[in-house]
Structure 1
């Protein structure tokens, strides 16, 4: 692996951070009126000591966190990733042990003070917006995906912060911020993967009013905690009848000491990420929020955050694959020249570079949408606003709708393209890449799960298609978003043409009467939407750059939009052909 600072050495990431992202609007939404800084000046509470008091301070604060994370990721974690992968995990009698090099690296993150990056300052966390959290996940995922997942599980305290009672928050969140407790999500069951409304793990109140949970959960990351550190397992269980569906599910906090880890999966990749089978036998649980809202309110909110996190993970893995391909192609000689000068290889590297820029653009736009609706909502609550007042805020409503679309859209697109980039990187390595001598073999294995867990690509398409169709209606939120963004800078005629073709695709799709056929064709519509959106984001990004950086980004945007033109044309033909078949046989 390349050993350097993974934040400062990434040109595309640096362009986004320094020039493309509108930090003022993100800081406005997240920091509000710099309430945490004012609280520190007033009370002197140590947890607010680092809270920024101005836009400049906030940006410098975020930058310092990312530089520290990038340094540890590139110089401490990346060099041990290969050995961690080869050593893997050990399971015995309900206990899981981890490589000591991994334990040491986690402690280095803790000592650097950047471990609780998604936890609020008042509970001992760093308190940073979703956009910065996304960058942190990317940096550590580039070094090692398993390691990044471990950090992500520590930061599941954010879910408890949002939905737990005051007593629950005060008891558990500071411990998680301090690295004394891990987090785990327990949704999936042996017979119920994505079919969560029908899961059967049950929760019943005993005579003392304590909820007792019985059942089994499968594929539970860090359900075992981490090397002697216990976990709190956020568990979805049925409090209603066996046939009550989603409304019969509730959300609980369960201590790992009260469950049994029946085993860990032997996986193709992510060898240092424990994927546990968790057995509940009358395990005590603490209800989170209201009974009956476990899936529709709490688990879905947690999963949306997890989906963005996996998109960021895939972004980091794809970056690692691209960087390794560049390094190998620049060193490997064939036919008297380095292979990066062979046209076929050069074309592959160029395509990878272009897709990396597009993937990062949609990742940050999804993160932006969350900052502009979720955190703005939270700040209004802190000032005493009720739900009705918040719902009246046009900006919050706009960005919430966009976040609900951009989250599955980015998860689908980034994870699929990350798989392709890893595939092409291994191809560039040739036979050497198929051996364990090169990091690309681990990268290739690790990336494969990203378009499967936290909802497969197919489920992300289902989650996105409604937002696309309704969003592109006459007064839809997506159409309005495009119109607003297209008016901010001079877009190319090529991008304008692609947008018009997208409108035709959505119109053709909406005209399909057969619901089964619509389901079959949803991918083409969602893919087309992603391509037009990313093309817009690339051109918008180029408009904010100067000199050579601007020229480079404009070229990337043009090449991307040219490719999109052919993809949209093919999708339109496919939809029209299928409609024709429908008319023929109905």
Structure 2
């Protein structure tokens, strides 16, 4: 019987390398939670064992049930009829099983029926689910909505919504985008207004809303009349009652099991979440940490599934009297896929840990404020951790989602013509992967989000420390290559800065971010290679290839590849 956790040796490797001691200690209130809840962990080892057991349950459900239904879910899709949306029958069964296993409130507090797990563990569960059915992740992965209410809502809102999120009775949706406000959320027009009693109501249209048929919606709305920018936006929560009309669902390329809806809010009663005017500038930005991670985990799960399909097919398919697995050109593609898959997982859970630390330090700071305390050292550490999380989450989203498209492309290529046929699941994986580098911020927007950290050399201290370390054997050679890439990066960065051309900097940002990612990921891989012999192969291929890519990135920047943008109107006829 397949288990999508226990059969994934690299995921187990990453799980066992997680360093969540501080995160768990804060989450468990110095393990005082165990005095209230007999199933809460009594120490860190107990917590990690609990996490492992739950991930095994997720792996069992994903491997034996969700995966088996995924093809039918894709074919059937979500249904829209008479203004209502119904999930595919397989999706309904999947959600029942996940709810029965108490997996729909993984990050929510125990007092509401949740598991109180760290984000990193939740992301591992998300990866496992996405490997089985990427579209289901879009429903399972919206637990962040409950977390947003828990973090910024008041106690009455928590009591109103969170218990039924945890039981699976409620599913959620983030109603952010509109017909004229996609990536540019400052342009949101849907209005929020109050009656004479202070009750809020929502009026307007939202588009491209994942799981828009959900029971509970977080809605970004313009609460300040006369404003046109992000400072006039607030966050609201509402039920999807009769005043919320589902106008249609989109006919999409992939993730068919996840309904994407256009919604019309007709004076819908709502509650303000947090403070007015903070909807975009604080709450959406905070939500993006977890949303970016969620899509990164989804992309990673799709990548794992595509790799598994390609490897199996390559071993089974015989041409020219031998398995195509033994044809060097095919073997090389598989090696590239495996290397990318594992390096992406390393980056993924480095980002997940960063978000975990950030969020738990925020809890400590808020607790101090409530008690009238001011811990300057803690405040400064939170600022530093937040800057790093602001950098590494868009970096992970960019790298992992672009990689998922490449891995699924290569997986289909290994299948040849058969991979283009509906009978083989690899074509579904290729379709599902395509959305990952679009929603929750396109790849281009992830570059915009990450470039500030790159220009500020946010990881300078880490890189300096790594360069002083002496690595054993062949790893020493790889460390020298990383030093060489860093020289290439600084040379390219200086060239961009010295030009003092904002437009050129915008275009060169992609190459600069990629250069920086090679260095950061490379050092992470060297650390892994020190403790795992097999990881030396992964580090070797990644770092050597990164040097070649770094030289290309530098040539793009320094040889004026982008100068023709000035003549775009003449070229683009």
TM-score (norm 2): 0.93
Deviation by residue 1:189-222 (Cα, 9 ceiling, x = unmatched): 0111111111111111122211121110001111
Name 2:571's counterpart in structure 1. Answer: none
Asked if 1:460 corresponds to 2:446, the answer is yes
Deviation of 1:55 (Å): 1.4
Q: 1:391 to 1:188 in 2, by over 3 A?
A: farther
Counterpart mapping for 1:505-584 below 5 A: 505-545=492-532, 550=533, 552-578=534-560
Larger CA deviation: 312-321 vs 204-213: 204-213
SS at match of 1:138: helix
Deviation of 1:527 (Å): 1.0
Name 1:317's counterpart in structure 2. Answer: 302
Q: Kindly indicate whether the alpha-carbon contact (under 8 Å) linking 2:365 and 2:378 is maintained by their aligned counterparts in 1.
A: no
What is the distance in 2 between the residues matched to 1:116 and 1:516?
Answer: 45
Deviation of 1:397 (Å): 2.5
Q: Kindly indicate whether the alpha-carbon contact (under 8 Å) linking 2:20 and 2:353 is maintained by their aligned counterparts in 1.
A: no
Name 1:478's counterpart in structure 2. Answer: 459
What is the distance in 2 between the residues matched to 1:432 and 1:484?
Answer: 50
What is the distance in 2 between the residues matched to 1:579 and 1:420?
Answer: 24
Asked if 1:232 corresponds to 2:219, the answer is no
Name 1:247's counterpart in structure 2. Answer: 231
Larger CA deviation: 509-518 vs 399-408: 509-518
Larger CA deviation: 282-291 vs 442-451: 282-291
Name 1:501's counterpart in structure 2. Answer: 488
Deviation of 1:486 (Å): 4.7
What is the distance in 2 between the residues matched to 1:505 and 1:122?
Answer: 52
Q: 1:391 to 1:198 in 2, by over 3 A?
A: farther
Name 2:158's counterpart in structure 1. Answer: 169
Asked if 1:288 corresponds to 2:288, the answer is no
Q: Kindly indicate whether the alpha-carbon contact (under 8 Å) linking 1:117 and 1:155 is maintained by their aligned counterparts in 2.
A: no
Match among 415, 420, 435 for residue 449 of structure 1? 435
Q: Kindly indicate whether the alpha-carbon contact (under 8 Å) linking 1:154 and 1:179 is maintained by their aligned counterparts in 2.
A: no
Q: Kindly indicate whether the alpha-carbon contact (under 8 Å) linking 1:30 and 1:376 is maintained by their aligned counterparts in 2.
A: no
Q: Kindly indicate whether the alpha-carbon contact (under 8 Å) linking 1:512 and 1:579 is maintained by their aligned counterparts in 2.
A: no
Name 1:53's counterpart in structure 2. Answer: 42
Q: Kindly indicate whether the alpha-carbon contact (under 8 Å) linking 2:144 and 2:291 is maintained by their aligned counterparts in 1.
A: no
Asked if 1:374 corresponds to 2:359, the answer is yes
Deviation of 1:101 (Å): 2.3
Q: 1:376 to 1:390 in 2, by over 3 A?
A: farther
What is the distance in 2 between the residues matched to 1:381 and 1:485?
Answer: 34
SS at match of 1:315: helix
Match among 195, 200, 204 for residue 189 of structure 2? 200
Deviation of 1:123 (Å): 1.8
Q: 1:123 to 1:382 in 2, by over 3 A?
A: farther
Deviation of 1:250 (Å): 0.7
What is the distance in 2 between the residues matched to 1:289 and 1:387?
Answer: 22
Q: Kindly indicate whether the alpha-carbon contact (under 8 Å) linking 1:198 and 1:243 is maintained by their aligned counterparts in 2.
A: no
Name 1:45's counterpart in structure 2. Answer: none
Deviation of 1:483 (Å): 2.8
Q: Kindly indicate whether the alpha-carbon contact (under 8 Å) linking 1:139 and 1:316 is maintained by their aligned counterparts in 2.
A: yes
Structure 1 gap ranges (5+): 41-47, 226-230
Counterpart mapping for 1:288-307 below 5 A: 288-307=273-292
What is the distance in 1 between the residues matched to 2:247 and 2:224?
Answer: 27
Name 2:325's counterpart in structure 1. Answer: 340
TM-score (norm 1): 0.91
Q: Kindly indicate whether the alpha-carbon contact (under 8 Å) linking 1:250 and 1:295 is maintained by their aligned counterparts in 2.
A: yes
Counterpart mapping for 1:132-281 below 5 A: 132-225=121-214, 231-257=215-241, 258-281=243-266
Structure 2 gap ranges (5+): 568-573
What is the distance in 2 between the residues matched to 1:500 and 1:386?
Answer: 47
Name 1:112's counterpart in structure 2. Answer: 101
Root-mean-square deviation over aligned CA pairs:
2.0
Deviation of 1:24 (Å): 3.2
SS at match of 2:560: helix
What is the distance in 1 between the residues matched to 2:30 and 2:361?
Answer: 11
Deviation of 1:158 (Å): 0.5
What is the distance in 2 between the residues matched to 1:214 and 1:574?
Answer: 48
Deviation by residue 1:518-541 (Cα, 9 ceiling, x = unmatched): 111110001111121111111111
What is the distance in 2 between the residues matched to 1:382 and 1:37?
Answer: 20
What is the distance in 1 between the residues matched to 2:29 and 2:525?
Answer: 29
Deviation by residue 1:232-279 (Cα, 9 ceiling, x = unmatched): 110001112344301000110121113111110010001110101110
